[in-house]
Amino acid sequence: MRVAVDIVIFTIQAGALKILLVKRKIEPYLGQYAIPGGFMHEDEDLDEAALRELREETGVTDVYLEQLYSFGAPRRDPRGRVISVSYFALISADRTLSAGSDAAEATWWSMKELPRLAFDHAKILDYALERLRNKLEYTTVGFQLLPEKFTLVQLQEVYEAILDRKLDKRNFRRKMSLLKILKPLKEYQTSARRPAQLFRFVASRFEKLKDKGIVFPF
Amino acid sequence: MRVAVDIVIFTIQAGALKILLVKRKIEPYLGQYAIPGGFMHEDEDLDEAALRELREETGVTDVYLEQLYSFGAPRRDPRGRVISVSYFALISADRTLSAGSDAAEATWWSMKELPRLAFDHAKILDYALERLRNKLEYTTVGFQLLPEKFTLVQLQEVYEAILDRKLDKRNFRRKMSLLKILKPLKEYQTSARRPAQLFRFVASRFEKLKDKGIVFPF
């Protein structure tokens, strides 16, 4: 039995939720797209293997990474028994990625225009998306997809992209304001048509809300 | 590399949170206590392996079972590389358990008086307890530990046992009543000093609450 780690890497680009896929250079599924990943080495822990694969295939080292679920159906890999320990990673849109040596091609794909995926990777991706949506409600996971300073438009875009539906702007801002987890800055984003105020996420305030059992019911 | 499944099995007995441990009949850790589990077979999926081990070691088949986390530190097993895919299971106190052939001794242990555990099982158990506590807030997991019909005293005991703290009775009942997820029955438990009304959990009402983002902030 062999153990592989596979990593679903999400980002938000131009208001759309995207994931990173690599084109396979070897059999099986040569030439098809897959979630980045590979076999675990003898001397490393699972998290270490996931971080190594992420670095090798994307060039990125400092990201939000968490273990997702292990998949082990008997015929999920034509080479024999391979257990996949899957991870999900979030990368903010302002981070640059470089495809590494393992991947013939590593590219961002919109969740709405995905190619056919190798192995059971479509199933792993479904599971990752469900986890991401659930976590949006009771953790700070959404902020991992934003740069440190962001506008309210950017924040709403993250929620809309993950939930895959439009949110009412006034309602969204009212709820966010009630939560008191954003610190308004004296800085503005000036690239847009009119300057938009920048905000920072205040983690300590979020912790207090969590203790009270308050969630993000968007 | 070998893959094992290990199962943390929780129950509530006499108001205390307990887990099932087996005394190891083979090396390594011969004679020490461990979470029930074993190696995956060639022809089964992970969930199937977990259900099989559960059946073999406890005689139980129809329980709440969910995958927890995979552990893969290089030296977690002295026999060589073994990845543990851990599960957690919840069994209501009214279900009888019989130790199977694999386990020399399968017994319930209070979380407050645990023996030293084999392998990294103490770490797996910590992780399972944290998951159980988190899930208590936003899922119906607590009801899996109760018989179909239960008293409010039994319900509060489950919450107190998992959270490991006393809850105010009036406050607990007021919150439960606001959630409207309990159906009062015209039946009473008469074994106690005075008859206590029995309730049933209404899953459909809980789903509605979840859609609104309401949690159980006890």
pLDDT digits (tens, 9 = 90+) for A38-76: 999 999 999 999 999 988 887 777 788 999 999 999 999
Stretches where chain B sits below pLDDT 70 are 93-104, 192, 209-218
A contacts of B43 (beta carbons < 8 Å): 74
How many DSSP H helices and E strands does chain B contain? 5, 9
A212 to chain B: nearest residue by CA? B217
Q: For the segment A6-42, what is each residue's pLDDT rounded down to a tens digit?
A: 999 999 998 899 999 999 989 999 999 999 999 999 9
Query: What does the alpha-carbon distance between residue B213 and residue A215 come to, in Å, rounded to a whole number?
Result: 6
Q: For position B206, what pLDDT does the model report?
A: 74
Catalytic site positions of A: 105
Domain boundaries, chain A: 2-137, 147-211
- A41 CB near a chain B CB, below 8 Å? no
Q: What homologous superfamily is domain B2-137 in, according to CATH? A: Nucleoside Triphosphate Pyrophosphohydrolase (3.90.79.10)
Number of CB pairs, chain A paired with chain B, less than 8 A apart: 74
How many DSSP H helices and E strands does chain A contain? 5, 9
Q: Which of B66, B105, B148, B207 is catalytic?
A: B105
- B171 CB near a chain A CB, below 8 Å? no
- Tell me if B173 sits within 8 A of B188, measured CB to CB: no
B74–A44: do the CB atoms touch at under 8 Å?
yes
Q: For the segment A157-181, what is each residue's pLDDT rounded down to a tens digit?
A: 999 999 999 999 999 999 888 888 8
Q: Is the predicted pLDDT of residue A187 greater than 90, yes or no? A: yes
Q: For position B188, what pLDDT does the model report?
A: 93
Q: For position B131, what pLDDT does the model report?
A: 92
- Tell me if A109 sits within 8 A of A18, measured CB to CB: yes
Q: Which residues pair with A16 in a beta bridge?
A: A13
B46–A2: do the CB atoms touch at under 8 Å?
no
Reduced to 3 states, what is the DSSP secondary structure of residue A143?
helix
Fold assignment, B146-211? Arc Repressor Mutant, subunit A (1.10.10)
B81–A46: do the CB atoms touch at under 8 Å?
no
- A137 CB near a chain B CB, below 8 Å? yes
Q: For position B212, what pLDDT does the model report?
A: 60
The answer to whether domain A147-211 has CATH 1.10.620.20 is no
Query: What does the alpha-carbon distance between residue A2 and residue A151 come to, in Å, rounded to a whole number?
Result: 45
A135 to chain B: nearest residue by CA? B138
3-state secondary structure chain B: CEEEEEEEEEEEECCEEEEEEEECCCCCCCCCEECCEEECCCCCCHHHHHHHHHHHHHCCCCCEEEEEEEECCCCCCCCCCEEEEEEEEECCCCCCCCCCCCCCCEEEEECCCCCCECCCHHHHHHHHHHHHHHHHHHCCHHHHHCCCCECHHHHHHHHHHHHCCCCCHHHHHHHHHHHCCEEEEEEEECCCCCCEEEEEECHHHHHHHHHCCCCCCC
What's the complex ipTM?
0.86
B contacts of A44 (beta carbons < 8 Å): 74
Q: For position B99, what pLDDT does the model report?
A: 47
Query: How close, in Å, is residue B25 to chain A by CA atoms?
Result: 25
Q: For the segment A96-111, what is each residue's pLDDT rounded down to a tens digit?
A: 555 444 444 788 999 9
- A16 CB near a chain B CB, below 8 Å? no
